[in-house]
Amino acid sequence: MARALTEWRIWVPRTFEQAVLVGYGSLFIVLLIAGFAGAVTSLQTGYQFSGQFPKYIAGGVITESVILELGPVLTGLILAGRIGARYAAELGTMRVTEQIDALESLGRSPMSHLLLPRCLAGIMVIPALVMFANFTGFGVGWYAAKSSLGISNADFIYGARFFFRSFDLWYSVIKSFFFACAVVLIPCYIGYNTQQGAEGVGRATTDAVVSASIAILMLDVLLTQILLTGSGQ
């Protein structure tokens, strides 16, 4: 790993290539899902709270739900499927077709050529995608609240600001960083160690997505316990 880091001429350009591939390529599906999540949260908030609480509460519930949970978790799970499957399948195929062995036989490091660029690209791009998801979920949720609940802009903003702490955004970033690690490290490890031909690649891809998804859910509970409950937020 240390040696690979010194080979920056190799991994820096490849990291940017990967970042564009996985970041730009994932943007549409991430925004789509965040938008729908924001809309559904808004509608369900209206269904549960209308007539019992002041309307501004909806602004707080929607904003906090999206930033604290839906944005990071849904984006993480989607990217576990999209990026995780891609990484596991790519590396798995390279392993079973001896491309990784070929790289090593040329005295080149698979770490700097393959693993480091993919891991760094994912870790850079996924938190950014989560932020885009948060803003989209928030925006669509706001629009849906205005349309279906009849909440005014002033009430929505008041509710959102009333419950919002700046730490919430940091919490979202911290969560997305850990989820990014799960999304890239687990599939890269499983893909890199693939065995037994096409069947092995299929198994590695499935295992990678399932393992990364489970890791995200477990990290979600753990980070909530440590960062929110534990810190008394």
Partner 1 sequence: MIELKDVSKRFVDHVVLDHIDFTVADGQTVALLGPSGVGKSVLLKHIIGLIKPDSGVVSVDGLHVASLKRKDLSHLRTRIGYVFQNGALFDSMDVQENIRLGITNEELYEDVTYCEARVKECLRLVNLQQEVALKFPSELSGGMRKRVGIARAIAGKPKYLLYDEPTSGLDPVNSDVIDGLVERLQDELGVTSVVVTHDVRGAFRVADRIALLWQAKIRAVGTPEEIVASKDSAVQQFLERDLEMALIQSESTDGSDV
Residues that bind partner 1 (CB under 8 A): 3, 9, 94, 97-99, 101-109
Dihedral sign for Cα 74, 34, 151, 157, please: positive
**What is the Cα–Cα distance from 139 to 117, expressed in whole angstroms?**
33
Q: State the nearest-atom distance from the C-beta of 197 to partner 1, in Å.
A: 12
Pick the closer one to partner 1 by CB: 77 or 111.
111
**Please, which residue, 35 or 191, has the CB nearer to partner 1?**
191
Q: In sequence order, which residues have a C-beta less than 8 Å from that of residue 225 and are 6 or more positions away?
A: none
CB of 102 to partner 1, least distance (A): 4
If one counts every other C-beta atom within 10 angstroms of the C-beta of residue 58, the result is 28
SS3 content of the chain, % helix, strand, coil (to 5): 90, 0, 10
DSSP-assigned states of every residue in 140-205: HHHHHIIIII---HHHHHHHHHHH--HHHHHHHHHHHHHHHHHHHHHHHHHHHT--SHHHHHHHHH
In this structure, what token pair is assigned to residue 104?
């090593």
Alpha-carbon distance of 100 to 10, in angstroms, equals: 16
Look at the chain and count its residues: 233
Q: Which is nearer to partner 1, 21 or 29 (by Cβ)?
A: 21
CB 109 to partner 1: min, Å: 7
Q: What sign results for the dihedral spanned by CA atoms 147, 153, 159, 164?
A: positive
Question: Minimum Å distance from CB 18 to partner 1?
Answer: 12
Closest distance between partner 1 and the C-beta of residue 196, in Å?
A: 13
- Closest CB to partner 1 among residues 101, 199: 101
Q: Which is nearer to partner 1, 99 or 148 (CB)?
A: 99
| Cβ-based nearer residue to partner 1, 54 or 197 | 197
The DSSP 8-state label assigned to residue 121 in this structure reads H
State the nearest-atom distance from the C-beta of 99 to partner 1, in Å.
Answer: 5
The nearer residue to partner 1, 82 or 108, going by C-beta atoms, is 108
To the nearest whole angstrom, how small is the minimum distance from the Cβ of residue 120 to partner 1? 18
